[in-house]
Structure 1
Amino acid sequence: MSPNASDAQVLERLSSLRQHQQDGRRSPHKPLLVLLALGRLAATGTSSLPWSEAEEKLADLIEEFGPTSRTGRTQSAAYPFTRLRADGVWTLDRDVPMDNVGPLREGVTGRLEASLETALKDRPEVLDAVARSLVESHFPGTVAPDVLVSVGLDPDLLEGRSIGNRSPEQRRRSGAWPAAVIAAWDRQCAFCGFDGAAGGGVVGIEAAHVRWFKLGGPDDLDNGLALCSLHHKLFDRGMLGLDDDFAVVVSQRFSARTSQGRAVYDLNGQPLRPRPGTPLPAERHVMWHREQVFQGTAIAG
């Protein structure tokens, strides 16, 4: 890349990573690695990331914000650490085989490609734009700030303006969908029944996609739930889910000590009770959420 590359060129290069696809599973591994490198660059002036640190830090990010892994933690981190080279945005200081953990433990260090690192270091606003583009492309708004905090970036950058124009292929959300979902579920949380209101408007009740809109979820009533802000966040973080009988399940990864926090455990096994005429979430969307978002296994009933 030319040192004089435009902001839009830098953004495009880092925002169009090739994603590994298998059985339609989401794969945020490469974006999480780039975000981790951006966080290091912003904090230290270099994106240099030794495998000795990435083995834990990247594995933690993938475990926290990715789908449940079918491989071990270390192997999940090795995939993007070695494969991101093929996108031309990541380099290793020595040649190692793809996906092979052993050679990585011999002191290998990765970093963003030199011209990209220089451009991002010289133009912090572009670094912010790249980070914003990556989290907004791969995570819903309830989760994106948590991802940024976890990689050492300021979640307030989500309020910034994007560089460049919206792609013609990029879908636009339905402006009418949120209100329709909330009304269909009687203006209350489908999980806990919270129905706070201020005057004539709901407070703390949000329309949640079962299958994330960013990853192909439609603005249909059978892909929506009205959830309170807390349970929307827990649903998108994979701490809450739905079983085959459309009952709420709580992940074993969720923990709480106070009575208020432990009230989440009481949701486990509670069936959805939609208003007559309101469709339950479609099985295909529930299955997507279970496979792609829900973390680990459910607590005992």
Structure 2
Amino acid sequence: MLLALSRLAASGSSELPWDVAEQELADLLEEFGRPSRTGRAQSAAYPFTRLRSDGVWTLDRDVPMDKVSTLRAGVTGRFEESLEAALRSRPALVGDVARGLVEAHFPATVAPDVLIAVGLNPELLHGGAGDPVAERKRSSTWPTQVLEAWDRQCAFCGFDGQVGGMPVALKAAHIRWFTVDGPDELDNVLALCSLHHKLFDRGVLGLDDELTVVVSQRFSARTPHGQAVYDLHGRRLRPRPGTPTPAERHVVWHREQVFHGSPLAA
């Protein structure tokens, strides 16, 4: 849907031929979706055909669900006619819908990257007052509780910078994302520096069953500063005594839904 919104904003039409979707949508799913065992084209075929069931998406011919071979006969998808007309008549609505979609499905560390990748302006995130998870707002003291539980330092690298006695560039990072019902509980959260929070949410960093940091082979760096990420591989988490360790169910969720590629060799 984000890809179609981008095409609508750029050209006035959400038309998305399968020969474009097979490449561009597959690339997006590979980068930001959960790891797939079905292959690139098949992963793209699922949303391209199944969104019809929600009444927001149409194809220019009746084809079976999920069948790549029939899509390659020249099928084109687009938004349902009345929806497209509404979006075209109110250009600001395109941004509102895009913002709502990305905020509802991705954490704040990843949402701007998704918008850029589909060709939309990440500044959309700073417009409007919509909050798709407003009913689950956490207390203002929650981030502080998390940082205190991890001794006000990054659980991965130990960064503990402060300004005026206050931690700086440290965040409460959900293991199972808050946007997909990840609970605000200490066994689902880590204190992470801004860099490692971003890499964790992008699937570059993860945890194994022994609560040891793993680095994906998809990550590469040329300078010593970037290569310092490699040094995290194999580092065991050491929470403050009394702090709950990450729950297995949340670690498994992150491994299956977020972490991409294979871990570096030991």
Scaled by the length of structure 2, the TM-score of the pair is 0.96
What letter corresponds to residue 124 of structure 1 in structure 2? P
8 Å Cα contact 2:133-2:179 kept in structure 1:
no
RMSD of Structure 2 on Structure 1 (CA) = 1.4
2:45 maps to 78
1:87 maps to 54
CA–CA separation in structure 2 for the residues paired with 1:51 and 1:145:
26
CA–CA separation in structure 2 for the residues paired with 1:215 and 1:93:
33
Residue by residue over 1:129-177, the C-alpha shift from the partner in whole angstroms, topping out at 9 and shown as x without a partner, is 11111111111110111111111111111111246x8688x32223222
8 Å Cα contact 1:174-1:219 kept in structure 2:
no
Going from structure 1 to structure 2, the CA distance change for 1:64 and 1:185 (only over 3 Å counts) comes to same
Instruction: Note the C-alpha offset of 1:220.
Output: 0.9
2:183 maps to 218
Structure 1 residue 120 corresponds to structure 2 residue 80: no
Aligned length: 266
What letter corresponds to residue 259 of structure 2 in structure 1? F
8 Å Cα contact 2:213-2:233 kept in structure 1:
yes
CA–CA separation in structure 2 for the residues paired with 1:130 and 1:69:
26
CA–CA separation in structure 2 for the residues paired with 1:238 and 1:88:
32
8 Å Cα contact 1:208-1:226 kept in structure 2:
yes
2:160 to 195, 198, 205: 195
2:231 to 240, 245, 266: 266
Q: Which runs of 5+ in 1 are unaligned?
A: 1-33
Structure 1 residue 159 corresponds to structure 2 residue 126: yes
Residue by residue over 1:70-96, the C-alpha shift from the partner in whole angstroms, topping out at 9 and shown as x without a partner, is 211100000110111111111111111
1:243 maps to 208
1:205 maps to 170
CA–CA separation in structure 2 for the residues paired with 1:134 and 1:109:
22
Give identity over the alignment, percent: 70
1:55 maps to 22
Q: Which runs of 5+ in 2 are unaligned?
A: none
Scaled by the length of structure 1, the TM-score of the pair is 0.85
CA–CA separation in structure 1 for the residues paired with 2:61 and 2:249:
44
CA–CA separation in structure 1 for the residues paired with 2:146 and 2:100:
27
Instruction: Note the C-alpha offset of 1:62.
Output: 0.8
